[in-house]
Structure 1
Amino acid sequence: MLLKGIIEKNFKYFFFFFSYLKYKIFVLILLSLLVGLLDGFGLALFIPLFQVAVDDSSQSTNPELGELDFLLDFMNSVGFNLNVGNILIFMTTLFLIKGIFKFFDSYYKVSLQIFFVKKLRFKMLDGMEDVSYQNFVGMDAGRIQNTLSAEVYKVTASFISYFNTLQYAVLLLVYMGLAFISNWQFAILVSIGGFISNVFFKMLFRRTEVASINISNKGHVFQSFLIQAVQHFKYLKATSYFRNYKQKLTKQVDEIENLQKRIGLYNSLLNGLREPIILIIVVLVILIQVSLLGGGLASILLSLMFFYRALNYVISVQSSWQTFISQFGGIVSSTEIIQMFDEGVEINDGRNGMGPLDYIFLDKVGFGFKDGLQILENVDLEIQKNQTIAFVGPSGSGKTTLVNLIVGLFNPNQGKIYINGQERNQLNILELRSKVGYITQEPVIFNDSIFNNVTFWLPKTQENLERFWKAIEMANLTDFVRSLKGQEDMVLGDNGVKASGGQKQRISIARELFKEVEIIVFDEATSALDSDSEKVIQENINSLQGKYTIILIAHRLSTIKSVDKIYLIDNGRIKASGDFDQLFHSDSNFRRMVQLQEF
């Protein structure tokens, strides 16, 4: 267990990337190893090259390369005499082969980066798709947006930095190994000095890691505040509250930038002190080696050449690792958001098909959030095919929650829901939702063309165009769309800014009709509209009655006079039901609600 804990602590980043890349990591390590060995062998040949160039007589006796003599033995075995020309040819060949492997090494790393980032983003998007709405409503929207938009770029940067570090570390080990082979005493002394200096660098890395995580957390809060500022901009501007609210945003910006400044300080210390410290270590080691240990200058020179190469990679390892740690918060945020989505995943074990909708039945259904109050209790109701029903009642009575239960966004914690006689948890919930159209108080309009808003980005085939215009006609939008310069290709702007409230609402209706749904929910669909727009939408609803199963949530009781059945809901319970006239004459609460509103 102790060994496992040590491995997990020191290789936690490696295991994170390994969970996505698997064996591909080892291919990258192997390529780096080959690049380092070929480069080292080529550098080693500089010693015999200089010896042969300075003293022609050395051609008759092999120069000394210690444990690397096999390079010279290989040249002799293939018939290459040890002269300047042959050594240069052999060196050039080694460096050319190294260049080929370096190309594959660099390109493979880019391919891995693209593969990793795509896989991570797809995993987050899949997690967001699979999370239940019931769990989603309790999540932090700012955190989700910040992770999916900003933090994922930190993960990309951290990937590049981590694998740069990994490759530099492999090359560092290669050159350290060659240095040990050349002169092991010199190599040990330099390694001890490097270990001592690393204590200082490790302290900087740890502080950078903490600051990076704090930056990500502050970013989540800032994004949450920013989303709210955009959503409530009209109110904040109209009431002059924006100046006060801005203080919350500026405070978060100050805290984030102060943390960035702290990371910049650590990076500056690392960059400024790293090379002088390493140089001091090397000078001291050479003095000890020559003065006290009596090492040969030739072996020291060869070892020093490898160490010079290695020390360059020490600098590279520390720089890239510092960069990785500074972006580490992105990995933390991404793993946490994936875990959060996984914990909130929607269970969809139902395998049965439901076929065309005939009826929905709720049997003593209740609902409440975890650690919250019970919102609905003991609800019994039945909805028949192509029936139009309405839920009315005071705000907070549970109308929207009841609709969310019916269409499968929430699961009851009491009672059961039946569809066509089958328990809903036995049905494929995605099939149920494919039959549902949802019209909200604030129309869902995307910054794209009317065609794409209605068809949800289906290809513009002749068949889809015909379906589009049919849906547009049923939503009473034909004259509006035909009058536009680009007609169906007209881009509506952010949140449909180029269309009126009533037009946006009818575009939402057209989208659901294009989808060929069986159930259409109108959740306060006319409450935000003027009287003329409300009349048009009401005519839309009336024209759809008897063709679709329609569920209305309404505050304006004038919009539900012609529905088949009304359910009066109060404090999470159905208090009364019937058509408009029945309720008006039999229920005093409903009658009082009607009398308080103007018709």
Structure 2
Amino acid sequence: MLLKNIVEKNFKYFSYFFSYLGYNIFLLIFLSVLVGVFDGFGLALFIPLFEVAVDPAKSSGSDTLGEFSFLIDFLTNAGIEISIGNILTFMTSLFVLKGFFKFMDSYFKVSLQISFVKRLRFQMLDGLSHVSYQHFVGLDAGRIQNTLSGEVYKVTGAFISYFNTLQHAVLLFVYTGLALISDWKFALLVSIGGFLSNLIFKILFRKTETASITISNKGHAFQSYLIQAVQHFKYLKATSYFAKYQRKLVNQIHEIESFQRKIGFYNSLLNGLREPMILVIVVFVIIIQINFLGGTLSSIMLSLMFFYRALNYVISIQSSWQMFISQFGGIVATSEMIKMFDSGKEENKTTNSMGDFGQIRLDQVGFRFKENGDVLKNITLEVNPKEAIAFVGPSGSGKTTLVNIIVGLLEPTQGNIRINGVERSALDLSVLRGKIGYITQEPVIFNDTVFNNVTFWAEKNPENLRKFNQAIELANLSEFVAKLDQRENTPLGDNGVRASGGQKQRISIARELFKEVEIIVFDEATSALDSDSENVIQENINSLQGKYTLLLIAHRLSTIKNADCIHLIKDGQISASGDFETLMSQNNYFNKMVKLQEF
């Protein structure tokens, strides 16, 4: 437990990336080590190169290489003369090897980046796909959109910055090790100085991390307000509220900018301090080494060459780490989003399939949201195949909640549901929902062609074209499609802007008919339509009656006049049931509702 706490505290970022990439990280580290080693060997050869250049008669330059004399010994043992040309050739070969491993290192990092981002996106999309509807309705739409579309790019940047930091740290370790081999006293003093200077940078890193997380949270709120501005644009414009709402958005932008400015200040301060501090440390150590520790100039030069490389990576580490911290909020946002999706994951405990829909029976079903009281109480009813069942009642009575329970979007908090005599929990929800069509008050239209909207991007082959034509015929869309310039290939625009409300509803109906469903839900399907469009949709509903099981939720009672059974819902309970004429004659409340609508 202690070891786990130490790892989580000190290597939490490494653990995060390791969970996605596994042991590939260590291969990347190994490639970085090879880059540093071959580069260091090549640098070490500068000392004998200079010596031979000054004194061509010198037969060996290994005297001043110390622990690196094996490089010159390698040439000697191979029978190669120690000359400027041969040393340069050997040095070049080492740098070519370094270049090869540098290429492998860079390309492998790009491959890991692509793999990581793809897995992260898939994980979030999979989480969204499997989250229950009941959990989803409690989530912040702005936060979801900001995380999936914006914060994920920050995670990509954080990945690049983190692995740049990791590779730079590996190279720093390699060059520091080479410097220690060359002159351990000099290297040790510079390392101590570098460690002390890093304490100052650590304070700035913490401040940057806090600001980054705050920016992500502010971004969630801004996206949420922005989505609402687009959704309610008509209202805000018509009432002159947009100017006030705009000020709210402007304030959010100012707050985000303020924290971005803080990060910019910390980055600028770090950039200004790095090189002067490093130079002061090196100069100070050289003075101590020569005057007090008796170091030789050649050993200091060799060690200094390694430290020249190492100190460059010190600067690079601090730059890339600062960049990582500034984008760290994206990792927090995506991790929290994944946890939120996982915590609301819908349990599908079985893969048992089912045949055609038979009878659906609810026994003493109740439902309540955690934060509210009972929405439904003691609901007992039956839905038989190919019946048209309607649910009416005042707003907030629980009509939509009841239908959402019937079709499996919500699970009852009491009672049970049986389909074909089998507990619904024993059936595969994905198979069950594949047999259900859902027509909402606001039609779901995608920014694509008529064909793709109806077929949900099915392959355009003869069989699917036949099914498409059959679906639009049943939905009374054939004439509309025939008049379009590109017929079924005509784009409908954002949210179906090129179609009327009634046409969009019929496209929604055609989609469900193409899907070959058994149950179709009409949730206030005509409440937002004009009278002519309502009549067309009503004709659609009438034409489907007896062919499909229809569940109708309606405020406009004219749409459910021909229903086989109407359930009047009041205060979360079924207060009366029967056909239209029976309720008219026996239920005063229903009779009053009908008369108020004057039809």
Cα distance in 1 for residues equivalent to 2:308 and 2:2 = 37
3-state SS of paired residue (1:563) = coil
How far the C-alpha of 1:247 sits from its partner, in A, is 1.5
Q: Does residue 1:94 correspond to 2:94, yes or no?
A: yes
Residue 240 (1) aligns with residue 212 (2):
no
CA distance in structure 2 between the aligned counterparts of 1:588 and 1:61, rounded to whole angstroms? 110
1:502–1:529 CA contact under 8 A, matched in 2 = yes
Secondary structure of the equivalent of 1:562? coil
Work out whether 1:324 is the aligned partner of 2:324: yes
Classify the secondary structure of the residue corresponding to 2:57.
helix
1:100 shift after superposition: 0.9
> Any idea what the Cα deviations from partners look like across 1:544-577, whole Å, max 9, x if unmatched?
0000000000001111111100000000000000
SS in 1 for 2:58: helix
Count of residues in correspondence between the two structures: 599
Match of 1:277?
277
Report the counterpart of residue 464 of structure 2 in structure 1: 464
Deviating more after overlay: 417-426 vs 369-378: 369-378
Superposed CA offset, 1:234-281 (max 9, x none)? 101000001111121111100001100000000000111100110011
Structure 2: how far apart are the matches of 1:304 and 1:3?
37
Distance 2:122 2:263 in 1: 30
Could you say which residue in structure 1 is the equivalent of 2:162? 162
What TM-score does the superposition give when structure 2 sets the normalisation length? Answer: 0.99
User: Which residue of structure 2 lines up, in the alignment, with residue 495 of structure 1?
Assistant: 495
Residues 215, 259 of structure 1: 8 Å contact kept: yes
1:9-68 CA-to-partner distances (Å, cap 9, x unmatched) read 110000000000001101100100000000000000000011111112321574321111
Q: Which residue of 1 aligns with 2:504?
A: 504
Q: Secondary structure at the match of 1:59?
A: coil
Match for 2:257: what amino acid? E
Residue pair 2:48, 2:60 contacting (<8 A) in 1 also: no
Describe the SS at the equivalent of 1:566: strand
Alignment of 1:374 onto 2:374: yes
- Aligned match of 2:519: 519
The match for 2:16 is 16
- For residues 390-422 of structure 1, the C-alpha deviation after alignment (integer angstroms, 9 at most, x for no partner) is 000000000000000000000001100000100
- Which residue does 2:315 correspond to in 1? 315
Residue 347 (1) aligns with residue 347 (2): yes
Q: 1:574 is aligned with what amino acid? A: I
Measure, in 2, the Cα distance between the counterparts of 1:239 and 1:433.
Answer: 41
Residue deviations 1:61-111 (CA, integer Å, cap 9, x gap): 743211111111211222222111111111011111111111111111000
Tell me, yes or no, if the aligned pair for 2:60 and 2:72 is still in contact at 8 Å.
no
- Where in structure 2 are the equivalents of 1:248-267 lying within 5 Å? 248-267=248-267
**Which structure 2 residue ranges, 5 or more long, are not aligned?**
none
Give 3-state SS (helix, strand or coil) of 1:363's partner: strand
Uncovered stretches (5+) of structure 1, i.e. residues with no partner: none
CA distance in 1, matches of 2:244, 2:191: 57
Mapped partners of 1:154, 1:31: distance in 2: 26
In structure 2, C-alpha distance between the alignment counterparts of 1:49 and 1:63, rounded to whole Å: 12
Cα displacement (A) at 1:219: 0.4
The one-letter code matched in structure 1 to 2:139 is M
Instruction: Specify the SS of the correspondent of 1:574.
Output: strand
Instruction: State the distance in 2 between where 1:343 and 1:7 align.
Output: 25
Q: Distance in 2 between matches of 1:26 and 1:195?
A: 25
When structure 1 is superposed on structure 2, of 488-497 and 68-77 the one drifting more is 68-77
**1:67-106 to 2 correspondences below 5 Å:** 67-106=67-106
Q: What displacement does 1:450 show?
A: 0.5
Provide the rounded CA distance (Å) in 2 between the counterparts of 1:140 and 1:61: 70
Confirm or deny: 8 A CA contact 1:354 1:419 kept in the other structure.
no
Per-residue deviation at 1:139?
A: 0.8
Identity %: 69
The equivalences for 1:194-205 within 5 A come to 194-205=194-205
> Which position in structure 2 is the counterpart of 1:43?
43
| 2-structure distance, mates of 1:294, 1:388 | 99
1:107 matched residue in structure 2: 107
C-alpha distance in 2 between matches for 1:247 and 1:459: 47
State the alpha-carbon separation in 2 of the partners of residues 486 and 43 from structure 1.
Answer: 68
Task: Give the superposed CA RMSD.
Answer: 0.8
| 1:100-499 pair list within 5 angstroms | 100-499=100-499
Deviation string 1:452-488 (CA, Å, 9 cap, x unpaired) is 1011111111111111111011100001101000110
Counterpart AA for 1:371: E
Give the Cα–Cα distance (whole angstroms) in 1 for the partners of residues 64 and 504 of structure 2. 84
Q: Please state how far the C-alpha of 1:3 moved relative to its aligned partner.
A: 3.8
Given that 2:49 and 2:61 are in contact with CA atoms closer than 8 Å, whether structure 1 keeps it comes out as: no
Equivalent-residue separation in structure 2 for 1:438 and 1:399 (angstroms): 15
1:545 aligned partner: 545
Q: How far does the alpha carbon of each residue in 1:501-532 deviate from its partner, in whole angstroms, 9 at most, with x for none? A: 00000000000000000000000000000000
Aligned to 2:592: 592
Letter in 1 for 2:32: S
Contact 1:31 1:102 in 2 (8 A): yes
Taking the aligned partners of 2:336 and 2:41, their CA distance within structure 1 comes to: 45
> Are the equivalent residues in 2 in contact too, given 1:51–1:63 (CA < 8 A)?
no
Instruction: Name the CA distance, whole Å, in 2 between partners of 1:74 and 1:355.
Output: 78
